[in-house]
Amino acid sequence: MALHIPTLLVVSLFIFCLMGLLSFHAWSRETREQPLAYLGGMMLLAAIGLLLNSLRNLGVDFVPLVLGNVLLLLSAALNWTAMRLFAGRAPSLPGILAGAVLWLGLCLVPAFYGTMATRVLVYSLLVVGYGMLTALEFWRSRHQLDVAYLPALTLTLLHTAFYIVRAATDGGLAFDNALSGTGQGMPFFSFMLFESMLYVIGIAYVTLAMVKERAELRFKAAAFSDALTGVGNRRAFMVHGEQMLAECAHREEPVALLLCDLDHFKRLNDAFGHQMGDQALVAFSQVSLENLRQQDVFARIGGEEFACLLMNTREPQAVQVAERIRQDFATLSMLEPGLLSVSIGVVTTQATGYDLSRLLSLADEALYGAKGQGRNRVQTLLAPELG
């Protein structure tokens, strides 16, 4: 069944405008997601460019051949820019303008301007170039993107492949012939409009899905993060700690728990103000992270109380880590020597098992012992004192 090109053209314009406006609406609800704005601009420019391309045989060929295609190339550039922004990179103004400027320059050459096959070839290759740049943005950021980007990458590669085929096979069908339904390139021209509609709908949907998924990840990260120090909060510690303990229990690996409490923290706040107290909490977090491994679990679980779960660590090694943390914190230059200190209780699963609640309870006993022995020290559950 032959597709009616004027009908396809009208439907394409409607879809491009509708999806563009919906993308702008989504962006207005979440202005941090600039890719949606660029995507909306891409679709509206495509609609205007397609409309201008249909203005043939009206005595203003400059409008469809030059201006119409310039807008379509800018549309392809904005599509690339939207995905570039989503991948965490800044827009490239030279890259956005490159295709349009090249097209304008070539249109000044009579041999190019007067040959449809050459124009089709060059336009298709420019679209292929922007498509490859878009795919490259996804590929370069594949390890940093936490969202499902493969549908967007697949759509981009298919769209790019279509224009590779067009560059190799399409000799060009005059637009006025297409509108009248005559010419050998009718089926291909019809399919090109159909493919464009599918791509616009598909890329809008998958981009919105990626934006939604990333927003959910941000909310989840905020729910598991301490706002002041940036480390995990108590909820994150319990969730990730339980996971670590279950994995280590399965592998029969020891785990050590360090329960840390900043000494005389209320006195520090009263003497120097809450801002200095906040700085002390941030500083202790940084000192702790510098002495921990990536696989360890560290969190602020209370006001001035922190906890560390050390994977595959026995008591002597755990005590060494705790001592380094205690000494590094005590020697910070943000206050006079002796004003910053921390007491740390240490327990391990070798003696208490892999139950996190029990580990915390016993570590609290060890910490209480460290406080009773004068603070600024590391203490295990059984040994009288260390440090």
pLDDT in tens, the chain (387 residues): 456 777 888 899 999 999 999 999 999 988 889 999 999 999 999 999 999 988 876 667 788 889 999 999 999 999 999 999 999 899 999 999 999 999 999 999 999 988 888 998 999 999 999 999 999 999 999 888 889 999 999 999 999 999 999 998 876 655 556 655 555 556 777 888 889 999 999 999 999 999 999 988 888 888 888 889 989 999 999 999 999 999 999 999 999 999 999 998 888 888 888 899 899 999 999 999 999 999 999 999 999 999 999 999 999 999 999 999 999 999 888 776 668 899 999 999 987 889 999 999 999 999 999 988 889 999 998 644 444
In angstroms, the Cα distances linking 372 to 28, 192, 327 are 57, 79, 19
CA gap 138, 157 in Å, rounded:
11
Task: Kindly list the domain boundaries of the chain, sorted by start residue.
Answer: 5-222, 234-380
Pairing of strands 378-380, 297-300: unpaired
234-380 adopts what CATH topology?
Alpha-Beta Plaits (3.30.70)
Contact yes or no for 66/56 (Cβ under 8 A): no
Supply the pTM of this predicted model. 0.72
Spatial neighbors of 85 by CB under 8 A, at least 6 apart, are 34, 35, 38, 91
Residue type, 79: N
